[in-house]
Structure 1
Amino acid sequence: MSVHWTADKNHMTHPDSVSRFENLFELIGDPVVEFELIDTKPIVRTVNPAFGEVFGYDSDSMLGESLNEFIVPPEADTEATRFDQRTADGKYNSGVVTRLTADGPRDFLYRGIPYEQDGREFGFAIYTDITERNKRKQQLQQQKQRLEQFAAVISHDIRNPLNVAKGRAEMLDQEHAEVITTNLSRIDDIIDDVLTVVWTGQPVDGVEDVTVSAIADQCWRHVETNTATLTTADEAIIQADPDRFKQLLENLFRNAVEHGGEDVTVTVGTVASGGLFIADDGTGIPPEDREEVFNRGYSTATDGTGLGLSIVQGICDAHGWNVAVTTSKAGGARFEITDIRTVTPD
């Protein structure tokens, strides 16, 4: 490959610079094509090894030929022509495109970089294969749609008959009515938790700066805490989905009160490695149970749904956080949430 750039913003002539550029061209993992625009057609001058590996074409057979003839599908001709015209105008190109490989069409993130040499127009076309990422995105979208349909069925088709049953139960004698109403209310609670699992497990679309102490105070007021006490040990600002972070804290607070006792003290603070902890001075969680507590359905309470800590795990997964349970300094449970992006106040 021979690329000789002058000292202005588009060129460089120092031999060491050219050598480093050639090494980059050869070793970069993304397919790269150097082309010359002739009559607005991108004529291939050089391709790097990664291009042959990803696209599967014989590099020598492409030299001197139009790049578009090899890799642009018919339905993308207009798009490719627009990119070529922008290159001729000295403009940078970028976009998600579908291109033909020897094994069929694949999706790429395309970047086109124009340059001029001796009055001739050249460019570099760089392709990052995102086919698998797009497939995964489509799968997640389909999964989300199925979960939303499932949630709609639970919310409407099951909850409505429950409400009817509750109304009829009130017409029975008190002894039987209390038993029926208690069990119907438990089913209602399970439905609420299942819907929460569906909602909180979805990928996070956007995050905001969240002041942990302020959110913790709000969540504490929303939980039946009896004579329990909340302490915020540190001030911290994190990036999170505010609604899901509230759900996370409310579930951990509720768990602490239910298992640590009515007068338990719950502390929220930061960990040295980066992240948060929520600890209590209750009875704690035995080491042999610490892996299981995040499993759906796990509960030591006779009236629990076993979904509270599963919801916490789902929220952490959706954010890309890690959660683990250890022992607090007071001998209770300590939940550590790491890999959280924190914000430094101005």
Structure 2
Amino acid sequence: MTPLARDEAIEDLADPYIAIDATARLVDYNPAAETLLDISGSDIGDKIAEIAPAVATAIQHGEDELTLSSDGTPRHFDLTISPISGPVADQLGTQLLMREVTAREERKSELALQNEQLNRFASVVSHDLRNPLGVIIGRVRLLDGTTNDQDDIDAIERSAVRMENIMTDLLELSRAGQSIDETEPVSLASVAADSWDKIQQNGTELDMQVPESVTVEADRDRLMHIFENLFRNAKEHNEPPLTIRTGVIPSETANKDDKSFISFFIEDNGDGVPADDCDEIFDHGYTTNPDGTGFGLSIVEEVVDAHGWSISVSDSDDGGARFEITDIETGN
């Protein structure tokens, strides 16, 4: 049988390549496929399901990835399946190119394990430290107003509360950048409103400009982390009265690959971000507030990255800080 699609480029490919005819019989392969699938010239004309059952199943179902075992070790491949067409557009067969991505998949597994270990560590540290801190804060508050050493009592309470805040932010930061496997259509206005309700609003007003009809594809809980931390960041770095505004950026609405994308902003009329600090504000531990933990904006950036979005900071029209989150797929 004359091999189909024979070409020097295919022969020299490092990636395994095979071709089958319209009856799913092997008609061509390159040296890389010969080594991987243990095939030879005598297999030409045989059913691919008899030669390599897993490969046959992947072709039949149009799968885009495949894992094979080599000497007991898993090897991972990305698959490219395409038709072989004749001169009158009849499909003569199918060709398969297998690009090995074992190193990538192993790295993903390592990162997943590291994330799991980090989660366990953060949870244990948070739990083991919060219990004694809770005792300290509780006892200090019982002593409040009953001793002449009120300044010392206040200092102890501030330090204990600060430690508690740091632990909360560290735990949140350890989870913020984890990959997001599932998203759902989420009302942007609803998330903004719920996030606003969770912060102390003393002297701060929210100007909600997000239409109720706008939905985005997101992990709702982590999207709330973005709003909560940006709301809290504005409040903690500015004196009241303060107005925080959030809305959709009309000019950034776009369609790509039959999908619709939008952007939204959160801004305030406070003091803004010093120009020299714009490149540093997302760094772990960065803060200009002596009572801040320096993790809030790091959490925001991690959540944005995990969604595949982008974030930038600039000045608002009122001279405050303006954060723009872009490249967000709509849920409509």
Residue 136 of structure 2: SS of its match in structure 1? Answer: helix
Matched, 1:108 2:77: yes
Deviation readout 1:52-109 (Å, 9 max, x if unpaired): 5x66959xx9651449xxxxxxxxx99944665x69xx954646222659xx963124
Of 17, 20, 28 in structure 2, the residue corresponding to residue 46 of structure 1 is 28
Q: State the match for 1:215 in structure 2.
A: 191
C-alpha separation in 1, matches of 2:51 and 2:208: 56
Q: Whose relative contact order is higher, 1 or 2, with alpha carbons under 8 Å and at least 6 apart?
A: 2
1:335–1:98 CA distance, 2 compared to 1 (3 A): same
Secondary structure at 2:27's aligned position in 1? strand
1:11 aligned partner: none
1:261 match: secondary structure: coil
Matched, 1:233 2:202: no
Give per-residue Cα distances to partners, 1:212-262, cap 9 Å, x unaligned: 112111111111122322123342321111001111101111111222332
The residue number in structure 1 matching 2:98 is 127
1:218–1:79 CA distance, 2 compared to 1 (3 A):
farther
Aligned 1:1-346 pairs, distance under 5 A? 3=4, 31-35=16-20, 45-47=27-29, 52=31, 64-66=41-43, 80-81=52-53, 91-92=60-61, 94=63, 96-98=66-68, 100=70, 106-109=75-78, 124-169=95-140, 173=147, 175=150, 176-235=152-211, 236-271=214-249, 272-273=251-252, 274-344=262-332
Task: Answer whether contact 1:252 1:309 (CA < 8 A) is retained.
Answer: yes
- 3-state SS, counterpart of residue 293 of structure 1: coil
* TM-score, normalising length: structure 2: 0.76
Q: TM-score, normalised by structure 1?
A: 0.73
RMSD over aligned Cα, in angstroms? 4.0
Unmatched tracts of structure 1, length 5 or more = 4-20, 68-76
Does the CA-based 8 Å contact 1:55-1:100 persist in structure 2?
Answer: no
Give the C-alpha shift of residue 343 in structure 1.
3.4
SS in 2 for 1:340: strand
The answer to whether the 8 A contact 1:44-1:65 is kept is no
The answer to whether the 8 Å contact 2:314/2:323 transfers is yes
**C-alpha deviation, 1:36, in angstroms:** 6.8
* CA deviation string 1:246-296 (max 9, x = no partner): 111011111112223322111112222241111111111111111111111
Distance 2:6 2:50 in 1: 32
One-letter identity of the residue aligned with 2:167: I
Whole-Å separation in 2 of the counterparts to 1:213 and 1:37:
53
**Structure 1 residue ranges (4+ consecutive) displaced by more than 6 angstroms after TM superposition:** 27-30, 111-115
1:35–1:122: 8 Å Cα contact kept in structure 2? yes
Identical positions, percent: 32
Does 217-226 or 229-238 show the bigger shift? 229-238
| Residues 180-215 of structure 1, C-alpha deviations (whole Å, 9 max, x = no match) | 222111111111111110121211121111111121
| Structure 2 unaligned spans of 5+ | 87-91, 253-261
